[in-house]
Structure 1
Amino acid sequence: MASHPVDPRRPDAAYLSFWRERHLCTLTTLRPDGSPHVVPVGVTYDPEAGLARVITNKSSRKVAHVLAAGPDGARVAVCQVDGRRWATLEGRARVSADPARVAEAVRRYAERYGRVPSPNPSRVAIEIELTAALGRG
């Protein structure tokens, strides 16, 4: 089966279902020297808003990489894989410390991963404005 592009705002049912299953994902950001920084994360996908979200600590390297890109956001990708199935979401990431946005990211994380994360006053949300998606199911 070949990979295929997906409209990130209008995914087919199988693609969306895959993103609702519980899978560990990766987030790829770019270091200042342009080399990729790939770390495991939990990701939620909200096609209606055109966003993927990652919750993390504001002092993490991934947050530093996103912030270093400036106000236009950092180009990033999130990916998940399960055997031969895989899916990638690409877009521009920005960091939000807004309590309502962080709470929404936490709510969605709890829904997907089946647990509420421990309280963390240093938590932020990385919000990825989606520009592309692809996968193989």
Structure 2
Amino acid sequence: MSLPQQKKAAPAVSGAVETFLNDANHVAAFTTVRPDGTLHVAPVRFTWQASSGLARVLTTAASRKARNLLAAPGGRVALCQVDGFAWTTLEGTATVVTDPARVALGAQLYAKRYWSAPPAPADRVVIEIAVERVLSLNV
């Protein structure tokens, strides 16, 4: 008999890291794993919500990053935002979400961070990253 899995608590981040992840208008490098085991890295805009420990990336269901995650649900990913010699990497497991309410929340958070609405293609999805580790330097 197995015990139910406990949801891990969101990692604590410093105020400086929180500001770096939320206030800067940066893109990040988003790394997923292709079905053949090679890495796929794409520049993305994202949002970070410390209270839930979730980072979100809006994309389309047909994108390589979404297809990589659909091929291996719960796959490990990394999201790294860089500004000069300062950087923060968010690592965790990712899920492609199609639920309209959660996709809308992702779009709302995106618009708040980037001061403009995201593109709205018909097959838009949100990738939710349950962040388990936060690494940073010079932040």
Taking structure 1 as the reference length, the TM-score comes to 0.90
What is the match of residue 101 of structure 1?
A: 102
What is the match of residue 128 of structure 1?
A: 129
Count, aligned residues: 129
Higher-RCO chain (CA-CA 8 Å, sequence separation at least 6): 1
RMSD over equivalenced CA pairs, Å? 1.3
The one-letter amino acid paired with 2:110 is Y
SS in 1 for 2:109: helix
Runs of 4+ with deviation above 6 angstroms: none
Structure 1's unaligned 5+ residue stretches are 1-6
What is the match of residue 47 of structure 1?
A: 50
Q: Distance in 1 between matches of 2:34 and 2:93?
A: 15
Deviates more, 1:76-85 or 1:117-126: 117-126
Q: Contact 2:69/2:95 (CA < 8 Å) preserved in 1?
A: yes
The one-letter amino acid paired with 1:115 is S
Which of these residues, 54, 62, 66, is aligned with residue 65 of structure 2?
Answer: 62
Q: What do residues 85-131 of structure 1 show as CA deviations (whole Å, max 9, x unaligned)?
A: 00000000000010000001001111111110233221000000111
Which of these residues, 33, 38, 42, is aligned with residue 35 of structure 1?
Answer: 38
Q: Distance in 2 between matches of 1:121 and 1:78?
A: 25
Taking structure 2 as the reference length, the TM-score comes to 0.89
Q: Percent identity?
A: 46
Q: Contact 2:28/2:82 (CA < 8 Å) preserved in 1?
A: yes
SS in 1 for 2:12: coil
Q: Distance in 1 between matches of 2:135 and 2:69?
A: 22
SS in 2 for 1:117: coil
Question: Does 1:13 pair with 2:15?
Answer: yes
**Equivalence map 1:78-117=2 (5 Å):** 78-117=79-118
What is the match of residue 6 of structure 2?
A: none
Q: What do residues 58-101 of structure 1 show as CA deviations (whole Å, max 9, x unaligned)?
A: 1101000001113xx11000011001100000000000010000
Q: Contact 1:9/1:48 (CA < 8 Å) preserved in 2?
A: no
Structure 1 residue 9: deviation in Å?
Answer: 3.2
